[in-house]
Each structure stands twice: as structure tokens, then as C-alpha cells.
Chain A
Amino acid sequence: MGRYVIRRLLQMIPVFIGSTFLIFFMVYALGDPVAALFGDKAPDPATAARIRKDLYLDRPLWQQYVHYMGQIFKGDFGTAFNGQSVTDLMASAFPVTLRLTCVAILIEIVVGISLGVVSGLRRGKTIDTTLLVATLVVISVPTFVTGYLLQYLFGVKWGWVRPTVSPDAPFDELILPGIVLALVSLAYVTRLSRTSIAENAKADYVRTAVAKGLPRRRVVGRHLLRNSLIPVVTFIGTDIGALMGGAIVTERIFNIHGVGYQLYQGILRGNSPTVVGFVTILVIVFLVANLLVDLLYAVLDPRIRYA
């Protein structure tokens, strides 16, 4: 197990470097941060040169990258062009998005797996067919359409919830945005757990469990579910990245001042330190989530643990 963790950690390093460098390259090499800083005004050449020097922009790209990463590991994400430190922005934005993502993942796991189990155990029955069609529809309607639709229905027309989220984003106001954010992934989780349950239900070891005279609840709960959840866990892990990306859309619809909102502002204004800083953190979150999933995977499946 220990060797397995170390191997996974080592594998993460090149992926981390590759992903962040790719983002770094896109932001710094394809755009011109200094031009963006001055907006429509033509920059004063001397000032521009000074800024370039301060920001290491006069060096080759790889040196900029190394310098930047060095700063990051000292906890310095640089300063946004409006003078606010990127770390401060993160401190205000990440807790909000973290809450939103937690709500979404919770909904995804609880609702998605329950529906998938129900559907998979009644394969071919009305409820299964209905759920299958419903999940396809949910997958097909883009998040921003469902977002506005639910906001309009629940927030405006029926007035059940606040249509937009207040700046400190308490949990109860995040339920509707959480549902919107989770909806597509929820449909995938439902379908995946359905397939997995239906497939495993035919497995020999389930037959053995029945032949042992175990009650149905125990056959499903202890024998079937645990084996079936392995691919679902993997999906949910890789989905954390997609959720954080999706948060950009959700946060825009519900006016939530989280990571997506800050990133969106940063990109619109060409605020490179903000963008690179936030994306780097997101990549780390994504990789750590994947690592945790791999470990959870090993806990669930001893064949991997002891391989």
C-alpha cells in the first residue's frame, strides 16, 4: 500500500508540471498581460518595460514558469493588477466554491447512486426506462439552460428561494445552485451505477450470497453495492475537476462570488496572475482528488491493494 501511494505521488509530478505549464503558456505566451493591464490606453514604453521586468516577463517562458512556481511554493501567488494579492482573492473565493462543490457532490452521490441502484435492480421495468430517458434529457440540456430555468421557476416565479446568492453564500442558499451544478454529473452517476449494479447482479458471487441464505438487503448492501461502486467512485473523483469548471457557469448564473466568478473576471480583464494562480490551485485540487480516489479504490478493491 505504501509503495502504491508513493508511486501515484511520483506519477502526479509530471502531470502537475505539464498541466500548469500548458495553462501558463496559454496565458503568458498567447496573450499580452501588460497590454491587458493598460486596457485601451497605449502603455507608456518605460512603464511597460519596468512592469515586464518586475513580473519576469522579459525572461524566456520557461524561466518565468520556474520563477512563478518557486514563488507559489513560498505561498506567494503574486498580485492582481488592481493591487489586491491573489492569495486574498483565493481566501475569499475558495471557501465559497468549496461549499458549492460539496453540496453538489453530496447531491450527486446520494441521489445519483440511489437512483442508479433502484434502476439497476429493476432493469427493464418502467421505473428503469423512465430514469434512463430522464437522465438522457438531463445530460442533453446544457447546464446554463437548466440553471436559468430553475432560477426562473424556483427563484422568480414561485419565490421559494433567493434567485441570487448573497456574498457570504450560506449553505441553504447554495442548495439550488448545487443541484444545477450537480445535475449532469448526477445523471452520469445514475447511469453508471445502474449499469454497474445490473452487471454485478448477474455475477457468480451474488448468486453465492443468495445461496448462503442472506437476506436480500444484505446481499445488495454488502455484496452487490460494494463491488458495483468501484467504477462510480472513479467517476466521481475525476468529476471533481469538471464540477469546478462547471462552477464557472453556475456561479455566473446565481451571482456567486467564488472561484468561477473570480476566474471569469480575471480572464475578461486579462488579469494573468489571478488566472494562473487560480487554475494552478484547481489543477492541484483535481490531482489530489484523483489521488484520493485511487486510494479509496484500493480500499474498496483488495485486488489492487495487494497487487
Chain B
Amino acid sequence: MPEPEPQPYDPVGPGENEAVAPTGQGGAMDLALDEAESLEKPLDPDPSAPRERARSLWSDAWHQLRRNPVFVISSLFILFLVVISLWPQLIASGDPLHCELSKSQQGSSPGHPFGYDTQGCDVYTRTVYGARASITVGICATLGAALLGSALGGLAGFFGGWGDSLLSRVADIFFGIPVVLGGLVFLSVVTSTTVWPVVGFIVLLGWPQLARIARGSVITAKQNDYVQAARALGAGNARILLRHVAPNAVAPVIVVATIALGTYIALEATLSFLGVGLRPPTVSWGIDISNAASQIRNAPHMLLWPALALSLTVLAFIMLGDAVRDALDPKLR
């Protein structure tokens, strides 16, 4: 009996099976010529098929991505973010923790294009250094959630049975806790000033989403004829899972994880804004925005720059995920 499976929390688009459509028929025929069967069985109903078949899903997607300006711009921007979070000194010579109260809330001046915040710290330097926390949290939390989620979800989807039911119910429990609320409760008791509690918390509440996606796409991939064929030829579970199912099920997980990375960065900033995420002396956009918000009438520049940096970062990841999904899902082209 089909159950109204709750939609996965897929921020930018349609349901979980969308991205697993097999590589495209492409070309003219599927647009309008929809007769079901070829008159002549041995004939291929799609004359453009032999050309298309040579391209795999991935190389086809890559071919399309390279020419997509959204993809190019967002990945270049992300590359830039990763570089400056590793070596912020490259573009910012100052010390983000060096502040002069005498310069509190001053506007921009030569060498300090973004001006100063309430404590008299240089906003430009802090904005540049703030990338590190966001990128670290985003990448680590996504890796953790994606690995944990796809391992559990993939196994549950592949083997089914009671383990699958158990996983679904456990995932339901985590879905039952609103994320920001859970963050407040969980992180308010933590005293560490590193990024790890935040990462751990995001992984804890983030994995069920990815587990659902992985489960769904493994179930879809498992039902493919070539998997049945491999099974009929006597391939073992491990071989089927690793060689036949996983490569075909991984695309949606990658798409959702990329988009999730953006939302995790936004979540970290929200938690930091509420005072339970990252804590000083860690430099974080969320903290800076929180401090600047109360002063918006006097010194809007304090809010503008970290907010802009944060929004652009989140936007870049979401756009990247969106572009990758479009490329991997021939149906939507």
C-alpha cells in the first residue's frame, strides 16, 4: 500500500527520484513524437540514440555544466571562498581581533574600505576571516551528514526489512524536532568555543534528510533491470550494491548535499546570531551580524558587509546544487 511518503526537505525542487532519471534520449523525438511502440521490433525507436548512448550520465552532465554560466560563476566563487578561508592573509593584512575602541563605528577610510564595528575592529578583515568558520562548518557538517546519511539510508533501502522500518521511524523522530529549536536546546549547554559542537549538531539533525534521499534513490536503482540481471547472474549483495546500485544512486545525494551545504552555513549563522552557535573569539558572520543588528540605525555598514558575504556564500552553494541537479536530470532540460 503506497504511503504518502513525506517529501524530503529538498529546498530548491521536486521530489527525491527526480535526479535519478537515466541518461537522456535527448534530441527531437521525445519532445512530441510519443507513439509507444516501434512498428518494427528490431528498430530502435529513437534514431538519435546511438549517438547519445556513447555519453554517460556524468560526462553528459559535465559537458552541460561547463557551458552553464551559473555553474562556472558559483564554483569559481566557492573556490575563492575556500582559498581565503585557508589563507585569509592573502587578501587581508590586518588582525581580525585587533580593535581600537577609538574608531568605534567609523565609516570607511583608506586601507579600511568597510569601516569599523562597535568595538573598533576592522569590518573588512573580520568579513574575510569570517569565511573560515562558515566554510569549515558547511563542509564538515555536509560531509558528516552525507556520509552517515547515505550509508544508513543506502543500506536500509538496499536490504529493506526491519532495519529499514527502524531507520524510517528514527528519521521521523529527528524530523519532529524543529532545527533552530533543537539547536537552541542542544547547544546552549555546550561551552566549547570551537566549531565542532555546531558541526556535530548539524550532522545529528541533518543526516535523516540525506538518508531519506539515499534510501529513495537506492530503492529506485535497485529495481532497475540490470540490477535484477546482475542478481540473476549470481552477483553477491556487496558487489551489486557497490558496482551497480551505488553509482546510479549517488547523484541525488550529491545534489541535495550541495544545496544542504548552503543551508547549513545559513543555519550556523542563525545559531550564532541567537548566541548558541559559534562564540567569540571565533570570527563568524553570524556573530558580527548579531552585534551589528542593534546598531543598524547608526552604522548600517557594519551589517551590510558580513550579511552580504554570508548571503553570497549561501547563494553560491544553492546555485551550484541547482545547476548540478539540472545537469543530472535530463527530464527537466
Contacts and interface: CB of A to CB of B under 8 A. Distances in A.
Interface of A: 11, 14-16, 18-19, 22-23, 26-27, 30-31, 136-137, 139-145, 148-149, 152, 156, 188, 191-192, 195-196, 199, 231, 234-235, 237-238, 241-242, 244-246, 248-249, 252-253, 263-264, 267-268, 270, 275, 279, 282-283, 286-287, 290, 294, 297-298, 301, 303-304, 307
B296 A279 contact: no
Nearest to A163: B297
Interface stretch (B138-146, B178-186, B221-229): B178-186
Contacts of A137: 311, 315
Interface in B2-17: 2-4, 6-7, 9, 11-15
A238 to B, nearest CB: 6
Given A15-B169, A16-B176, A195-B14, 15 more contacts: A14-B169, A15-B176, A22-B174, A23-B177, A23-B185, A26-B186, A139-B11, A141-B307, A196-B14, A199-B14, A241-B178, A245-B180, A282-B181, A283-B176, A283-B177
Contact of A231 (B7, B289, B310, B315): B7
Question: Does more than half of chain A's interface fall in helix, strand or loop, or is it mixed?
Answer: helix
A140 B77 CA distance: 15
Give 7 nearest A-B pairs by CB, closest first.
A245-B178, A18-B173, A140-B315, A19-B176, A245-B180, A31-B189, A140-B314
B19 interface: no
A252 B2 contact: no
B274 A145 contact: no
B322 interface: yes
Contacts of B180: 245-246, 248-249
Interface string B273-317: 111100000000000011001001100100100010011101100
B184 A267 contact: yes
Given A31-B189, A140-B311, A267-B188, A192 B13 contact: yes
Interface of B: 1-4, 6-7, 9, 11-15, 169-170, 172-182, 184-186, 188-190, 262, 266, 269-270, 273-276, 289-290, 293, 296-297, 300, 303, 307, 310-312, 314-315, 318-319, 322, 332
Given A136-B315, A231-B14, A234-B7, A307 B2 contact: yes
Contact of A141 (B14, B178, B311): B311
11 contacts: A19-B174, A23-B177, A136-B12, A231-B7, A231-B14, A231-B15, A245-B181, A248-B180, A248-B181, A279-B181, A279-B185
Contacts of B188: 31, 267-268, 270
Q: Which of A199, A267, A290 has the most CB of B within 10 A?
A: A267
